[in-house]
Structure formats: structure tokens, C-alpha cells
Amino acid sequence: MIDLFGGEEPNQTTREEMAEGAVILRGFARHLEEDLLAAVREVAQLSPFRRMITPGGHVMSVAMTNCGQAGWVTNRQGYRYDAIDPETGKPWPPMPGSFIALAVSAAAEAGYCKFRPDACLINRYEPGARLSLHQDRNERDLANPIVSVSLGLPTIFQFGGLKRADPIKKYALRHGDVAVWGGPSRLCYHGVPILKDGEHPKVGRARLNLTFRRAL
């Protein structure tokens, strides 16, 4: 295909339905890669990536930071959203404009026209890191979808049903893909298996995931 827009427009997005209300928009964020990666670096300068502790006392293999009005955090006491970064004692960095625009347009493309994110969890997976099967259920109003942007090394996304034991389907997630799940799929279990080693030309030896939520 000829790139008529010089990489400036989300052209040739193909959709892959995962379940009712859940879709992968292939390559939707690709044209924004430079802005998104620069914005991640700026956020991480103010609120660095860190490996948090689960309520069960395990150190997570995924390194995380946040931006927006609230950030997702975990420690021995449990999971929560907090307006303050516990590492810096300051508010999380504001959500970059490029993040908001992408999250709003991806949600609309998936059929969620009213979505306005107030929190973005940024996950950094290095080879060997994984995120076990879980539901995103700490947000106040579950009418809002989750918008999840993948950058860097490819991975497999495990997407199951409303019960942990439901069958799990597997989807490749590559640089620039955006997954959106909401409505009847909002509480579907999902996870990411161990990241395979590799080197991405723009991101290096890592996968980044931006997960946009309406938390408050």
C-alpha cells in the first residue's frame, strides 16, 4: 500500500473482534509512535517506572508508572487508584495531549463515543516479564471501556471470559495495535504471558503498554 498520509493518519486500520464489545484495532496508534514514546519518556522522568508489590507480597515483573488524575498502585494493603505517586509524594504527571486524543479516538472507533480517560497506567515489560490473568475492576464506573495501546516488542494477549476458568483466546499484539474492551466484555479476564526476548527498532528490548481508564 502507498502511504498517502506520510504516516500522519491512522490509515488501513483493520478490526479484529475478540468478543462482544471487545476489539483489536490493528496499527491504530502506529502513526503516533514518536509522540507517544517521547511522552512516555517525559512521564517517566517525573514518575519513574517501578516494580510494585502485590497484596500477596510478590514483586511484580512488570514495571509501572502512571499519568493523569489518578494512578493505579498496589502494595501490601491492596490495589487502589491514588492521585499521589507514593514514590515521589507528588501528583502523577498530567496526561499528555497525544495520549488523550488517541484514547478518545480509539474508544470511538470501537463504539464507545463518550469515553474520556482520567488515568493511564503505563506498563513496561522486559523479556521474562508477564502479567497474570486478572480483571480490571478498581474503576468506579464500569460503563467505561478499557483502551490498551501496545508499543515495542510483540506479545500474546490472553483474553478470556467473565469467569477465571472460562476458555481463553490468544491474540498477537504488535507495535501500534490498540485493544478496547467494554460493555459485556468489560470484566473479562485478560493477561500477558512471559515476554520473549527481542529488540524493537524504536523501543529496544521492551514492550510498553498504555492502559487508559476512567478511574474516578
Contacts with ligand SIN by CB under 6 A lie at 121, 123, 131, 148, 150, 157, 190, 192, 209, 211
Q: Which is nearer to ligand SIN, 131 or 206 (CB)?
A: 131
CA distance 146 to 23: 11
> In this structure, are residues 151 and 209 in contact, taking their beta carbons and an 8 Å threshold?
yes
Q: Indicate the pairing of strand 207-213 with strand 119-125.
A: antiparallel
Q: Which one of ligand SIN, Fe ion, none interacts with residue 67, CB within 5 to 8 A by kind?
A: none
For residue 38, give the H/E element and its range: helix 33-46
Q: Which residues pair with 74 in a beta bridge?
A: 79
Query: Does residue 139 interact with Fe ion by CB under 5 A?
Result: no
Q: Which of 85, 109, 118, 136 binds Fe ion (CB under 5 A)?
A: 136
Question: Does 200 count as an annotated binding residue?
Answer: no
Tell me if 134 is assigned to a ligand binding site.
yes
Q: Which does 118 bind (CB under 5 to 8 A by kind): ligand SIN, Fe ion, none?
A: none
82 in a known ligand binding site: no
Residue with cell 500477596: 56
C-alpha cell at 35: 509522540
- The count of residues interacting with Fe ion (CB under 5 A) is 1
Task: Answer yes or no: are the C-beta atoms of 110 and 25 closer than 8 Å.
Answer: yes
Q: What residue numbers does the annotated binding site for Fe cation cover?
A: 134, 136, 190
Q: What residue numbers does the annotated binding site cover?
A: 134, 136, 190
Residues at the site binding Fe ion, with contacts judged by CB under 5 A: 136
